[in-house]
Each structure stands twice: as structure tokens, then as C-alpha cells.
A and B are shown apart, each in its own frame.
Chain A
């Protein structure tokens, strides 16, 4: 019997749609398995392998983004072989693309039932749980995927991501360490581990990881932005500016970058240059409230309270639910001799949970 080699494209389908990948990474789960043309071995006796034939047809349809037809073929394969684990996995993938997330989970679960050591099935189900915002379930499934196959760098990476989201930065770093151990060029893992260090205020380690990410992939603006921010936090302003400058070389219309570089100038107390950058940011995105907020702060530092207030007003308009904007504007109003307005803003900020405004209210009595 000549067995048709199964086409395992299920993981490839994860990035066909639905996930919120920032960049389509070479680092996503194994691309090699997403090449069905190379994988097909023709059957000598087709009738003996009807389930596999249907499965392969399903894989080809799936690769062609013909999800509905692919599901029909996977249905056929499963009907012929009810324990066909990979057919369940790929059908789950097709269902996920069609937003039938419950159906996808059902199929991934069936695959796990058939093979409790299927790291891919756990991984796939975790991704769907994540889409459903069932982060605890996703977290557990990523954990299971790692447990049954510790070399699954992707599972470790995403497990780390959820630890990061939970604020468990030290545990996230352990996950990223493992991901990098089994995939040493895993640039996203470097970036995200750097971010974990950053959240732990370990800026030199953060910068080292961001540097690695930039070295492996020098095309990513956000790697350089993160690097610039880590250096700013570390007080290494020249390196911070250099990183942001590199980022702007890659994309000079990135308003985030201007805002970030402006903050480095702000920290350097070069408030005029900071204002220039915040202004550049706003020229690209006039609705970016943070840049108004920060520009107002820079004017405040330059004792130009009227301009600070103009920016503070705009920040509040654009971000009416941002308590920080009210605190800042309160300060600006105080300096423009609008004590009543300042007190109203500080009070609003406190109502919105801004602790820093509490002592200021004492002056309002």
C-alpha cells in the first residue's frame, strides 16, 4: 500500500486570516509544512486511500483559500476515517477562517481526543481561544502544547505573550528564553523578551534584546522604536535618538516615532526640539492626543503657559476619558491664573483615578 503523505498545512492556515499579526513573520509556525505541492505523493491504488485522497484535496482547497470546499473534503475524509486527526485539525483551520470558531474548537478538541500528544492541536485550539478572548483557556493550551513538545518554540512564544499580558514578566522571560533556545533567530521573541525586561525596569537587558531583534531584522520600525525607548528609559539619550533616527529612516511618516523621539528630547530638557517632534507627529496625525498632551507639557516646561493651555485643551478634546490630560490642563490653567478651571480639572482627574492630582486639590479649598 502506498500511503499518501499527508499534507499538514494546518498551521499555515493560522495566518491566513483572523489573527492580529502585526507583521507576517517568518517566525510563525513552520512554513515548510505549508507547501502542499511538494508534499503530495501520488497513490498507486487510489481506491484504497479514499480518505487520504479527500484529505489531500481538502488541503489543496485550503491552500487556495477555498475554505468551504476544503471543509467538504475534510468532512469526506473524516467520514471515511473517523479517527483522522489531521483532517480534524485542518478542518478546524478552515472553520476558523470562516469565523466558525466554536466549530474549530470542536475539531481541535476531537484531534486532541484522538491524540493527546498533539502539540499542534493544542496550539491551534489555543489560537482560537485567544480569538474568542478566552485567554485562560488559550494560556492553558499553549502550556499543554509546550508540555507535550517542549521544542515548540511558537507555543513557548505565545505562552510568553500571555504571561506578558498578565503582567507576569519574569515568567514571560522564561517562555521567551525557551523559544529562543529552540529557535535562536526568533526575532519576535527577542523583541518581546526585551519588552518584558523593560517592564521590569531592566533597561540594559531590554536594550540588548532589542538590539538583537534589530540585528536579525533591520526592517522593523517598531524594533527600533522599542530600542529607542529602552535607551531613553536607561538615560542613554544619544543612543535613544540614534535608534529613533534609524526608525525614521525606515518610515518617516511614522507619527509614533516622532512622539517617542520628542519624549527623548523632553527628557533631555531640550524642550524646543521636543516641540518640533511633537509638531511633526501632529502633522502626520492631527488626531493624536498624546502628542498634544506632550507638546503642552513641553511648553509648560518652557514657562509658555498660554501655548501649554492651547495644547492641553486639544488633548482633553481628543481624549475626554484620559485623566492625565485633565491633570496636565489643570496645571496649565493654574499658571494662566484660572484657578477655578484648574481645580475643576484636578478634581476631574482625581475622579478618573489619577492619584497625582490629589495633593493639588488641597489648594482649592
Chain B
């Protein structure tokens, strides 16, 4: 059991911690002379790879390892150098370094059981070299037809070749071998189940297209852990390609240290990526992508050396990235002694999911989470629970914008082999659903990880070690070596086809009557998403401003996101589900807050972009702010509860700036009598004043007025005013209706600010 866990840990080390591409044996052989010699290493043996007594006995089977098997002492000496070096690296678990020595030794003594078993196993462990292991394993079985080691790894090879029935038979036969110990049985049982599961899943492929992102993104080395901006035009990923910062090779894996790369393209259908090393965030050690904030302005980077990992954060101003620093998340969520890898925030950034093998888990890597408390501090990490986490590895959590749908990778749930991608959803009570395997051909018999679905839901990106392309094993998509990054295109439910036939239903009519059977039309699932792109700037100087922004879903009455516009560019991007009414408020020290209210209508289009500007006014006498999120019932002046969030902001503004004096004014459109409208608007302004007074603001600081329709912001007779008032995609009403909606408003004007105090603006989340 212990050995088996260690075997898994070793696999994780290969495929997770550094996710290193196992370069081909031939390439490795070329490195033979430059490889670090065994004498220079003082490492402890890797328990998973220490030869058992049974395996030691293999040395004497077939052509035995002995001087007598060689013609002369010189060739035996050379053999012995290769053999001992290979065995040394093997027992250290340094697989890549072991391969060339074992190959040389096997070439000199091709009919020895131990060499064939060791070489077969060592090559089989990695996807990139697995198929090369087959002749050695077959040779081992020719020498000893009941050899458990050769047989179980041969089963693994057969599964990689999608010879599923043969793999099942081989694993099944393995289980009958008397030499099998508990660990062997556990290993074979696991792969037998994987083969059986594979057989079932292959019969019902998911309706997706899988595309390799191409040879600019993917190389013959490992490329993985992609995270994409909301508009899918920018991608950050990890690669161990040559050219790594520092140019060093990680001695524990034999491959270059990880670096973060940035890929860009002009449209989200474009396959011509431009890739560059994001050198500002990279070091000589491991630097890997762990996550990206929803607004694309912060990238989370995993840095790890010697199996220690921390999450660093780098901020962007759209053109450059800061040097990564250990942010709150890194300090509070992560601990240095654990190997925290990926991080995924909910839409409102009030919950973060991350992966860790810390104490208190269910085994291997687990998914954990932290929430922000009322003081904006992260709570202690909690394990997401046994529905998701298993005794195996559960990792690469990626939470969707809805905050309740999650994809993750696991080898503890039923998989086709290795790590597969799973989906789970949290219900309103906070319970996660039983994870479902997302199926073939996203998942394969090899490892799949780092799955993120796009905002529109139409696509996803993930990393896979599938043996695709030129290797002609897996037809789903190419693979250029090790982990590659792939795109999934979802086709939705199977579209019904129509069958037709003819029967001679009426005896006296020779013409048969046709029958058409129409399958139920496929439901085209559409989750309309609107990308709101905004620009915050000083209304007078037009200088871009970085400012905290609060987004409230007025239909749900909750604040759904708090974020900031970019400090240098003033820009921000946020994805919003369509079909809701939103209030958005931008606050900035020294400025009056700016609020807007708008609908994002449900539209046929699954995805659309809206652009909106937020000019902030200085806190100067005469400045006006329209309270777009203050609501009354039609023709009444009782405040609706949806108004309170906005009014509380005004209370806070007045509290923070005690010298501020304001006039609250009500305005109507032109419909109805003037007298009625003036009374209504006065009453509405008074209702706002009452709210402010009830919340501690002195009446001495407030005046109010009802102007009725006398001060329109967009007069009915000025059809062009709308062009400057609203982004054209947000509203769908006709122009007169829209204009009148704009004119119906409550606003306040600064009428006094003698102390000229700077206004302290609430921090996000307050």
C-alpha cells in the first residue's frame, strides 16, 4: 500500500509538480555523456523504485548478469558501468537519467530479464516513452511468461494503444499470478477499472471537437496550465521548453525549469497565436501559471523549488506586468511546506479554491477553499469535502463565473486512466454534486488537467498528454510531446436527424404514403454572457483612473463583484450573465461616486460585448451625481428596497465628508401635468432626505427640491442626446422611451464643501 502511494506520488511529481515532458529515449541517449554522473549525487533512494527481492532475482533469469555472459572482461566492465549507473538512477527515481544507461546495458545483454523489466517499466511510466517500452516488456515475457512486472506494464501499454480488450485481459490475467503482492494488486486493479471504464466511455463520445493549439503554443516539451482572459484573446501558460529563464535543468526531472509564457491573438477564432516568454515574472526556478483574476489584471504564479510551492501575484497595467509578490492569498491561503499549485477565485473574489496536500485532507492533493470574512480577511482554509476529494489526487480546481460550477482533475474518481477532468456543481445549500467525468474525447487514457471553460460556455481549454497525431494512437487531436494545450469546442446536445420511409397504407393507392420520423430537436444550450468593458476617467482632465468598482445584481439584490479599474489605463472588463438588471458604482478618493443602472437583455447572441464610460467628477461645488439605483414605484414616492445599497453609499459619503452640503432633487419626464410632476418629484426627493436623516445625516446639510420635468438631461426634442448618454447596446427601448427614462431620476448636487476635505472612499467589499 505504502509503495503504491509512493508510486502515485512519484507519478505526481513527474506529471504534476513539474509536469515535465519526458523527452524521448533517443534524445536522452544523446545526453548520456553529459548527464550528471552517479558519483556526484548523494541522494536517498526512492522507496517506490527500490528493487524488491523478487526483482533482484530477475538478474539471474534469461542470460544472467555475470562475467560469464560476456566474451571478455573489458566488455563486462563497460556493461557493469552502464548497469550500475542505470540501476543507481533507477533507484533514485531519476527515471530520465536512468534510461540511457539501462538501454546501453540491455543492448549488451538483451536477454536478461531484469534489464528488460527495468527498462520496460522505466519507459512505460511516462506517456512520451510508453510505446517504446513494449518490446522490452514483450522480451521480458518471452523470458518469463508469468512475470508480473512485465505483464502489468504491458497492460498499461496496451491501454495506451487503445487495445482495450487486450489490456483488460492482460490486467485480469495479472491478478491471477501468484507473485502479485498487495501493492501490485492495487495497481493492476486500478488500471483494470480504468480499462473497463474506458471501454464504456469510448462507446459514447461527448459532442466536442478537440483541437491542439498548434506548434507555436505547444512544443515537443511540456506546455500546460493555460489560463485565459475573459475575451479569450490572451492566454498565459506554463512551459518547460528550451529557452527557460536561467537555462537550467531541474535535476529532479531532467527538464528545464518552468516558465510562464504569454500568448495573444486578434480574435477568439484566430488560431495564429503569438507567444512570448513573460520574462518579468519568471525566475531561474519553477514559475508556473496558477490562475488569472476575472478582470485579467492579476496573474497568480506558482513558484516552487524542491517541492515547495508558493503563490505569487503579479499585476498588470495592460501593457506590463509587475514583479510577482507574495500577496494576501499567498500568505494566508498557502503555506510554504505544502505544494499549493492552482488557485481559482469566484466571480466576486470572496471565495478562493486552491489545491494542497496539507494535513487534514483525504489523501494526495485535495481541493480547499477560503472565504473572505466581513473584514475582508481570508478565513482558515477548509477542505471542500469527501464528495470531491478522494484518497487520490483532486486538483486543478477551476470555478466558473456562476460561482457554483467547478471543473477539476482527479485520479481518485473513476477515470479512463490517470488524471481525468470532472465537473461538479454546488447547490444552494452549499453541497457539491457527485462529480461527473466529462468523458471521451476530452479525457483519454492519459492525463488531462488544468481545465477551464470559457465565459460563453462554448469552449474550454485544458492540458493533456494524449498520444495523438503522428503517433497515430489517439485520433482526437495531435500531440507534439508531453503535455500540450488543447481547445474543446462544445457542440451541445446531439442534433436530431430525420429518417424517412414509405408504406402502402391504402390498398387502392399504389403510391406509398411516406413517413417521416423527426427526432426531438436538440436543445441548443445558450448561457448568454455579456462582457462589460469599462473606462474610468477624470471628467475634467480625461485622465484614466484606477478606482474601486462595485457591481450589484438588482434582480437578486446582492453585490456580485468588487474589483478595480486598471490603475494606468482606467479600464476594466467584467463578464455578466445576461437577462439581469445591474447597478454599478465607481468610487474614487477625491471624486464623487458615479453610479449607473442598466439592463443586459437576453439576446439571441450567446456572447456580446458592451462598452461603457465612467467619468468621475471632482468633489467641487456644483458637481451633480445622478442616483441611478434609487427606485420608486410608478407614480409613488415610497423608496423601493433595491435603492438602499445606493443610498447607503450616499450616507457613507456624507459621513466621510462631514462638511459636504448637498441638494437632493427629484426629476420626472414630461408625461402628466406639470403640477403633479413637481409634487411627485418633490416628494421623492423628500423620501431620499428622510432616508439620509434616518441614517444619521443632519438635516442642516441637506436641502431638497422637486423640479418635475424642468431640468431634463435628455430632452424629448433632442434626438441626438442619447448618443452621448448611453452605450448603444445596453438599451433596447425606443429613443423617446429611453430619453424619458433618463430624465426620470433622483440626483444630488454639492452645494457646499467649505472644509474641502478629501473624501475617504470605502474599500472594496465594505
For B508, B513, B524, which residue has the most chain A Cβ atoms within 10 angstroms? B508
Q: A20-B508, A359-B521, A359-B522 are in contact. Are A334 and B495 (CB under 8 A)?
A: yes
A3-11, A67-75, A90-98, A221-229: which one contacts chain B? A221-229
**A296→B500 CA distance, assembly (Å):** 12
Q: A222-B503, A294-B501, A362-B524 are in contact. Are A22 and B495 (CB under 8 A)?
A: no
Q: Tell whether B469 is near chain A: CB-to-CB under 8 Å.
A: no
Q: Tell whether A337 is near chain B: CB-to-CB under 8 Å.
A: yes
Which A residues are CB-close (under 8 A) to B506? 161, 164-165, 192, 195
Is B497's CB under 8 angstroms from A300's CB? yes
Which A residues are CB-close (under 8 A) to B514? 290
Is A25's CB under 8 angstroms from B521's CB? no
* Residue in B closest to A187 when the chains form the complex, CB atoms: B507
Tell me which residues from 11 to 42 in chain A have a Cβ below 8 Å from any Cβ of chain B: 19-23, 25
* Residue in A closest to B489 when the chains form the complex, CB atoms: A337
Q: Which of A19, A188, A256, A337 contacts B512 (CB 8 A)?
A: A256
Q: Which of A187, A290, A301, A356 contacts B518 (CB 8 A)?
A: A356
Q: Which of A198, A225, A359, A362 contacts B504 (CB 8 A)?
A: A225
Tell me which residues from 301 to 347 in chain A have a Cβ below 8 Å from any Cβ of chain B: 301, 303, 322, 324, 327-328, 331, 334-335, 337
Which A residues are CB-close (under 8 A) to B205? 303
**A191→B524 CA distance, assembly (Å):** 41
Q: Tell whether A158 is near chain B: CB-to-CB under 8 Å.
A: yes
Is A290's CB under 8 angstroms from B502's CB? yes
**A199→B506 CA distance, assembly (Å):** 12
Which B residues are CB-close (under 8 A) to A358? 521
Which B residues are CB-close (under 8 A) to A327? 497-498
Is B503's CB under 8 angstroms from A192's CB? no
Q: Give the distance to chain A from B32, nearest Cβ to Cβ, in Å.
A: 44
Is B503's CB under 8 angstroms from A260's CB? yes
Q: Tell whether A266 is near chain B: CB-to-CB under 8 Å.
A: yes
Q: A294-B500, A360-B524 are in contact. Are A226 and B508 (CB under 8 A)?
A: no
For B496, B503, B518, which residue has the most chain A Cβ atoms within 10 angstroms? B503
Q: Tell whether A141 is near chain B: CB-to-CB under 8 Å.
A: no
Q: Tell whether A107 is near chain B: CB-to-CB under 8 Å.
A: no
Q: Tell whether A259 is near chain B: CB-to-CB under 8 Å.
A: yes
Is A334's CB under 8 angstroms from B503's CB? no
Q: Give the distance to chain A from B529, nearest Cβ to Cβ, in Å.
A: 14
Tell me which residues from 501 to 531 in chain B have a Cβ below 8 Å from any Cβ of chain A: 501-518, 521-524, 526
Is B498's CB under 8 angstroms from A328's CB? yes
Which A residues are CB-close (under 8 A) to B517? 263
Mark B471-495 against chain A: 1 for CB-CB distance below 8 A, else 0.
Answer: 0000000000000000000011001
Which B residues are CB-close (under 8 A) to A297? 497-499
Is B524's CB under 8 angstroms from A365's CB? no
Q: Tell whether B700 is near chain A: CB-to-CB under 8 Å.
A: no
Which B residues are CB-close (under 8 A) to A275? none
Q: Tell whether B209 is near chain A: CB-to-CB under 8 Å.
A: yes
Q: A22-B509, A229-B515 are in contact. Are A256 and B524 (CB under 8 A)?
A: no
**A356→B513 CA distance, assembly (Å):** 21
Is B503's CB under 8 angstroms from A158's CB? no
Which A residues are CB-close (under 8 A) to B497? 296-297, 300-301, 327-328, 331
Number of A-B contacts (CB under 8 A): 112
Chain B interface, number of residues (Cβ within 8 angstroms): 35
Q: Tell whether A45 is near chain B: CB-to-CB under 8 Å.
A: no
Is B502's CB under 8 angstroms from A256's CB? yes
Q: Give the distance to chain B from A315, nearest Cβ to Cβ, in Å.
A: 9
Is A22's CB under 8 angstroms from B504's CB? yes
Mark A57-93 against chain B: 1 for CB-CB distance below 8 A, else 0.
Answer: 0000000000000000000000000000000000000
* Residue in A closest to B521 when the chains form the complex, CB atoms: A356
Which B residues are CB-close (under 8 A) to A19? 508
Which A residues are CB-close (under 8 A) to B509? 20, 22, 161
**A165→B509 CA distance, assembly (Å):** 10
* Residue in B closest to A19 when the chains form the complex, CB atoms: B508
Mark A168-211 against chain B: 1 for CB-CB distance below 8 A, else 0.
Answer: 00000000000000000001100110010011000000000000
Q: A229-B515, A290-B500 are in contact. Are A198 and B505 (CB under 8 A)?
A: yes
Q: Tell whether A133 is near chain B: CB-to-CB under 8 Å.
A: no
**A91→B192 CA distance, assembly (Å):** 86
Is A22's CB under 8 angstroms from B501's CB? no
Task: Report, as a range, how many residues of chain A touch the other chain.
Answer: 35 or more
Tell me which residues from 628 to 663 in chain B have a Cβ below 8 Å from any Cβ of chain A: none
Mark A123-161 against chain B: 1 for CB-CB distance below 8 A, else 0.
Answer: 000000000000000000000000000000000001001
Q: Give the distance to chain A from B519, nearest Cβ to Cβ, in Å.
A: 8
**A290→B523 CA distance, assembly (Å):** 26
Which B residues are CB-close (under 8 A) to A300? 497
Mark B134-165 against chain A: 1 for CB-CB distance below 8 A, else 0.
Answer: 00000000000000000000000000000000
**A359→B524 CA distance, assembly (Å):** 7
Is B508's CB under 8 angstroms from A324's CB? no
Q: Give the distance to chain B from A141, nearest Cβ to Cβ, in Å.
A: 16
Q: Tell whether B604 is near chain A: CB-to-CB under 8 Å.
A: yes
Which A residues are CB-close (under 8 A) to B733? none
Is A365's CB under 8 angstroms from B604's CB? yes
Which A residues are CB-close (under 8 A) to B504? 22, 222, 225-226, 256
Q: Give the distance to chain B from A318, nearest Cβ to Cβ, in Å.
A: 12
Q: A334-B491, A359-B524, A365-B604 are in contact. Are A294 and B507 (CB under 8 A)?
A: no
Q: Tell whether B605 is near chain A: CB-to-CB under 8 Å.
A: yes
Is A192's CB under 8 angstroms from B523's CB? no
* Residue in B closest to A357 when the chains form the complex, CB atoms: B521
Q: Tell whether A293 is near chain B: CB-to-CB under 8 Å.
A: yes
* Residue in A closest to B203 when the chains form the complex, CB atoms: A303
Is A324's CB under 8 angstroms from B498's CB? yes
Is B501's CB under 8 angstroms from A259's CB? yes
Is B498's CB under 8 angstroms from A263's CB? no
Tell me which residues from 263 to 316 in chain A have a Cβ below 8 Å from any Cβ of chain B: 263, 266, 290, 293-294, 296-297, 300-301, 303
Which B residues are CB-close (under 8 A) to A164? 505-506
Is B495's CB under 8 angstroms from A331's CB? yes
**A321→B755 CA distance, assembly (Å):** 81
Q: Which of B500, B503, B508 contacts A22 (CB 8 A)?
A: B508
For B205, B495, B509, B526, which residue has the most chain A Cβ atoms within 10 angstroms? B495
| 4 cross-chain pairs, A with B, having the tightest CB-CB distances, nearest first | A195-B505, A188-B507, A222-B504, A324-B498
Q: A23-B507, A25-B507 are in contact. List 7 more A-B contacts (CB 8 A).
A: A195-B505, A294-B500, A324-B518, A327-B498, A328-B498, A360-B495, A365-B605
12 residue pairs from A and B, CB less than 8 Å apart: A20-B510, A22-B510, A25-B507, A225-B503, A226-B503, A259-B501, A290-B514, A303-B205, A335-B491, A337-B209, A358-B521, A363-B524
